Amino acid sequence: MSKSIAGFSKLSKSKKIDWIVETYFSNTEDAKRILKQYWNTDEKLQQLHDEFIENTITNYYLPLGVAPNFLINDKLYTIPMAIEESSVVAAASKAAKFWLERGGFKTRVISTTKIGQVHFIYKGDYEKLKRFFNKTKPKLIQDSKSITANMEKRGGGIIDIELRDKTADIDHYYQLHASFETLDAMGANFINSCLEQFAKTFKNDALLFQAFSAEEKQIDIVMSILSNYVPNCLVRAEVSCKVEDLSEDSSMSGETFANKFIQAVNIAEVEPYRAVTHNKGIMNGIDAVVLATGNDFRAVEAGVHAYASRHGRYSSLTHAKIENGIFTFWMEIPLALGTVGGLTGLHPLVKLALELLHKPSAKMLMQIVAVAGLAQNFAALRSLTTTGIQQGHMKMHLMNILNQFDANNEEKQTITEHFKTNVVTHSAVVEAINKLRVSKLRS
Ligand code: MEV
């Protein structure tokens, strides 16, 4: 039976671990050993990680892989990807190579506006509220100057603030709906600080607005927070080539492949059950790069899926067509990313990942991430509509199964060789390991 604890966050790291292992583990020494196995021997580096969050007890590793040969707007990139799923980096690399030989990826940033809102309750006359808002709007911006000065120097800042009437949805509910340009920063702290300042000024100035009644003066701020829905922070990635150039060998013509591929995209456009899996495959690429570059993948996920439902039905993020003998495959997605601030200047591997990408601006990173998503979707649909997904997946999963059985390097080599010409299934791999081990014992 586990127990509650008061003041846990104030305990030292080693006392926290003592409490955890004694409360939850039968083999306390083993649990401690595993936790400590992942500590970094460089104490400064470990302290940096300890201080990212509260109550750190160890580090959680994910592999950082790279997918080379991405030609984006005629410049070559090797894309860093942090992900645990066996086939993702291999699929990205394959798609990169395929499109490298066909002109590469073309990308462009469509817009970079981010949104934040002050949600408030006002019980009174809307016309008076509008007059108050118009009067106080310059002051909202003026009172935020200490927060916005640096961003403005670099060309960003507050774009606009609107008053929105939401009383059709909730009685007395209104918003200050603000738009921002945050340049190379993801901008969450900047936006939230501005919004909290707007809320303060708005509430205080309402008390002084002569036309308001005593009740109208009492504006009740519910909350001030940025939105992770960023349909106007949009990037486009695209590949195209002659239909006949899509064919790699004689097993399928370019035209047959293109038509099947487009059918698969069309299905994801109209069928939400398929669209979710289709988009999940896109997010395999996107999240991996977002994570490797120290960005907030939960924000990206939430914003992208909301965008995929913007017409009232969850749908494919990618689209494909043939026009005048040219196959085009593209995607437009919202991505609010940063290449300065947050983890980008703190985590040594994030810094390394950004350097690998030629130290991109946030706009360039948006394009790289979109390409990783499009490439991933291309690779998945290509497998799904030709060989089926399991052939590639199980080949990549083979190593995981071998590791589950503690295979040594020699066993791994022999069995990998065997499965170059045999179908990988879990039971076939187990059988192969057992056979190999029995024959070893006999010899
Ligand atoms: C697996 O992680 C992703 C796929 O299911 C995506 C798809 O079906 O398009 C292969």
Q: Is residue 58 part of a domain?
A: no
Centre of ligand 1 to C-alpha 281, Å, is: 4
CA of 284, closest atom in ligand 1: 2
Residue nearest to atom 6 of ligand 1 (CA): 281
Contact 180, 114 (CB under 8 A): yes
| Residue predicted with more confidence, 392 or 436 | 436
Question: Looking at ligand 1, which residue's alpha carbon is closest to its atom 2?
Answer: 281
Q: Whose Cα sits closest to atom 10 in ligand 1?
A: 380
Domain membership of residue 55 (yes or no) is no
Distance of CA 305 to the CA centre of its chain: 11
Same domain, 222 and 161: yes
Q: Note whether 369 and 287 are same-domain residues.
A: yes
For a pocket test of ligand 1, which of 278, 376, 377, 391 has the largest count of ligand atoms closer than 8 A to its C-beta?
278
pLDDT(396) > 90: no
Is the pLDDT confidence value at 393 over 90?
A: no
- Active site members: 85, 280, 296, 393
- pTM of the full predicted structure? 0.92
Q: How far apart are CA 405 and CA 339, in angstroms?
A: 41
The answer to whether the Cα torsion of 138, 142, 147, 151 is positive or negative is positive
Residues 208 and 152 in one domain: yes
Q: Which atom of ligand 1 has the smallest separation from the CA of 85?
A: 2
The yes-or-no verdict on residue 34 having pLDDT over 90 is: yes
Phi-psi category of 236—alpha, beta or left, where left has phi over 0 and alpha has psi -120 to 50? beta
CATH of the domain at 159: 3.30.70.420
Atom of ligand 1 nearest to the CA of 383: 10
> Which ligand 1 atom is nearest residue 88's CA?
2
Q: What is the mean pLDDT of residues 40-59?
A: 96
Q: Is 160 left (phi over 0), alpha (psi -120 to 50) or beta?
A: beta
Question: Has residue 26 got a pLDDT over 80?
Answer: yes
Which of 62-76, 253-267, 421-435 has the least mean pLDDT?
421-435
Distance 377 CA to ligand 1 centre (A): 8
Closest CA to 197 of 180, 210, 211, 209: 180
Residues 275-311 have pLDDT tens digits of: 999 999 999 999 999 999 999 999 999 999 999 999 9
Looking at 226, 255, 285, which one is the last position of a domain?
226
Could you tell me if 98 and 140 lie in one domain?
no
Q: Looking at residue 387, what is its pLDDT?
A: 84
For ligand 1, atom 7, the nearest C-alpha belongs to 278
137-186 confidence digits (pLDDT tens): 999 999 999 999 999 999 999 999 999 999 999 999 999 999 999 999 99
pLDDT at 30 over 80: yes
| Ligand 1 centroid to residue 274 C-alpha, Å | 10
266 and 124, same domain (yes or no):
no
Distance 280 CA to ligand 1 centre (A): 6
HEC states along the chain?
CCCCCCCHHHCCHHHHHHHHHHHHCCCHHHHHHHHHHCCCCCHHHHHHHHCCCCCCCCCCCCCEEEEEEEEECCEEEEEEEECCCCCHHHHHHHHHHHHHCCCCEEEEECCCCEEEEEEEECCCCHHHHHHHHHHHHHHHHHHCHHHHHHHHHCCCEEEEEEEEECCCCCCCEEEEEEEEECCCECCHHHHHHHHHHHHHHHHHHHHHCCCCCCCCCCCEEEEEEECCCCCCCEEEEEEEEEHHHHCCCCCCCHHHHHHHHHHHHHHHHHCHHHHHHHHHHHHHHHHHHHHHCCCCHHHHHHHHHHHHCCCCCCCCCEEEEEECCEEEEEEEEECCCCCECHHHHCCHHHHHHHHHCCCCCHHHHHHHHHHHHHHHHHHHHHHHCCCCHHHHHHHHHHHHHHHHCCCCHHHHHHHHHHCCCCCCCHHHHHHHHHHHHHHHHHC
Give the Cα separation of 133 and 119 in Å (integer): 14
- Mean pLDDT, range 124-143, rounded to an integer: 98
In the reported structure, the alpha carbon of residue 243 is separated from the centroid of ligand 1 by a whole-number distance in angstroms of 24
Q: Cα separation of 98 and 257, whole Å? A: 14
Same domain, 375 and 399: no
Confidence of residue 415 (pLDDT cuts 50, 70, 90): very high
The reply to whether 79 and 196 lie within a common domain is: no
Residue 56 lies in a domain: no
- Å from CA of 272 to ligand 1 middle: 14
Do 346 and 414 share a domain, yes or no?
no
* Residue that is last in its domain, among 226, 246, 262: 226
- pLDDT higher than 80, residue 2: no
Ranges 111-115, 367-371, 418-422: which has the least confidence = 418-422
Q: Which of 386, 407, 423 is the last residue of a domain?
A: 386
Residue 343 near residue 350 (C-beta atoms within 8 A): yes
Which residues does ligand 1 sit against, CB inside 6 Å? Answer: 85, 277-278, 280-281, 284, 380, 384, 389
Mutate to test the pocket of ligand 1, among 267, 271, 277, 391 (most ligand atoms within 8 A of CB): 277
Distance of CA 439 to the CA centre of its chain: 47
Tell me, in angstroms, the distance from the centre of ligand 1 to residue 374's CA: 13
**What is the per-residue pLDDT for 414?**
94
Beta bridge partners of residue 239, listed in sequence order: 329
State residue 390's pLDDT score.
Answer: 79
> Distance between CA 21 and CA 27 in Å, rounded?
8
Instruction: Report the candidate in 136, 116, 141 with the shortest Cα–Cα distance to residue 217.
Output: 136
Same domain, 104 and 126: no
When pLDDT is cut at 50, 70 and 90, the band that residue 29 belongs to is very high
Of ligand 1's atoms, which has the minimum distance to the CA of residue 278? 9
Residues 85, 136 share a domain:
no
Q: Is the pLDDT of residue 395 over 90?
A: no
Number of domains forming the structure of the chain: 4
Q: For a pocket test of ligand 1, which of 85, 269, 276, 280 has the largest count of ligand atoms closer than 8 A to its C-beta? A: 280
Look at 342 and 2; give whichever has higher pLDDT: 342
Residues 246 and 301 in one domain: yes
Nearest CA to ligand 1 atom 3: 281
Buried/exposed code over 345-383 (b: 16+ C-beta within 10 A; e: otherwise): eebeebbebbebbeebebbbbbbbbbbbbbbbbbbbbbb
Residue 29 domain boundaries: 8-50
Q: Which of 263, 374, 384 to mutate to test the pocket of ligand 1 (most atoms within 8 A of CB)?
A: 384
The Cα-based distances of 111 to 230, 261, 335, 372 in angstroms read 10, 29, 10, 19
Regarding whether 319 and 381 lie in a shared domain, the answer is yes
The answer to whether the beta carbons of residues 385 and 375 sit under 8 Å apart is: no
Angle at Cα 143 formed by Cα 142 and Cα 149, nearest 5°? 70
Counting from 1 in the atom list of ligand 1, the atom nearest the Cα of 377 is 9
Please tell me the distance from the alpha carbon of residue 263 to that of residue 385, in angstroms, as a whole number: 9
**pLDDT given at position 394:** 81
Q: Residue 248: what pLDDT?
A: 83
Mean pLDDT of 197-205: 98
Place of tokens 């209104």: 174
Report pLDDT for 1.
62
Residue 295 φ then ψ, to 5°: -100, 170
Q: How confident is the model at residue 397 (pLDDT cuts 50, 70, 90)?
A: confident
Residue 391 confidence (pLDDT) above 90: no
For atom 1 of ligand 1, the residue with the nearest CA is 281
Instruction: Give residue-wise pLDDT tens across range 302-346.
Output: 999 999 999 999 999 999 999 999 999 999 999 999 999 988 989
The answer to whether residue 208 sits within a structural domain is yes
Residue 376, pLDDT above cutoff 80: yes
